[in-house]
Amino acid sequence: MYYLKEKLLTHPEPDSLLAISDTLAEYKVESLALQLDEEKLDQLPLPCVVQISKNPYPYFTCLTQVTEDWVEYLDEKGKLVKVSRKEFVKHWTGVTLVVEKEEHSGEPGYTKRRKEQLIYQSLVILTGAVGLAWIIGDLIGLDYNTSYSFGVIALLILKLAGLGISTILLWSEVDKNNAAITQF
């Protein structure tokens, strides 16, 4: 999802049908922009992208279902909205982007980014689990000398933080284009 947002927001025309169409082209998804009227609404292949002018500014959204009586689409917050067909047509500008997924459609570089994300998450979980195990082990073996025990725990946390930061810095030196590291 991060990749998709980045592509849309870095487009020269970020809030346009052209930005959506160009981004879909990078995903190898065929698209066709149309200006339609209400009679063609039943013939649209779903899902498709439509322009709605409900607020002062029009926005693009995903049309998910159309019947004789009602229409279902995602609002600007991504929430599924079900309204009467008349209400929808009142706000619909007629601008529509019909999309068709091909067999080879998909996010460019998805497997590489997903692998990097899994490695990063695994390192975070592993570091947390090892640290937690050490802390619990120290607490179980706790004598009545609590000031010594808290000092050891504080030192352990400090060393683990240093180990984590050092690992990330070394990893970023080895793989400068890693999305997981650049996000961190």
Query: What is the Cα–Cα distance from 131 to 165, expressed in whole angstroms?
Result: 14
pTM of this structure: 0.61
**pLDDT band at 166, cuts 50/70/90?**
confident
Contact between 153 and 138 (Cβ < 8 Å): yes
Residue-wise pLDDT for 139-161, tens only, equals 676 555 555 666 777 777 888 88
Domain ranges of the chain: 1-101, 110-177
pLDDT of amino acid 180: 65
Diameter of the chain measured on Cα atoms: 81
pLDDT of 105 strictly over 70: yes
Strand partners, 12: none
Q: What are the C-alpha distances in Å from 168 to residues 100, 164, 173? A: 41, 6, 9
Residue-wise pLDDT for 78-89, tens only, equals 899 999 999 999
pLDDT of 174 strictly over 90: no
pLDDT of amino acid 66: 95
Burial bucket for residue 83 (CB in 10 Å: 0-12, 13-18, 19+): middle
pLDDT of amino acid 51: 94
Torsion of CA 9, 65, 88, 55, to 10 degrees: -20
CA angle, 118 then 124 then 125, to 5°? 85
**What's domain 1-101's architecture?**
Alpha-Beta Complex (3.90)
**pLDDT band at 179, cuts 50/70/90?**
low
pLDDT of amino acid 5: 81
pLDDT of amino acid 181: 64
Identity of the residue numbered 24: L
Query: What is the Cα–Cα distance from 34 to 27, expressed in whole angstroms?
Result: 20
**120: nearest Cα among 178, 65, 48:** 178
**pLDDT band at 75, cuts 50/70/90?**
confident
**60: nearest Cα among 96, 22, 27, 35:** 96
**Worst-scoring range by mean pLDDT, 41-45, 47-51, 121-125?**
121-125
**Cβ neighbours for 91, distance < 8 A, ≥ 6 positions apart:** 52, 53, 54
pLDDT of amino acid 136: 75
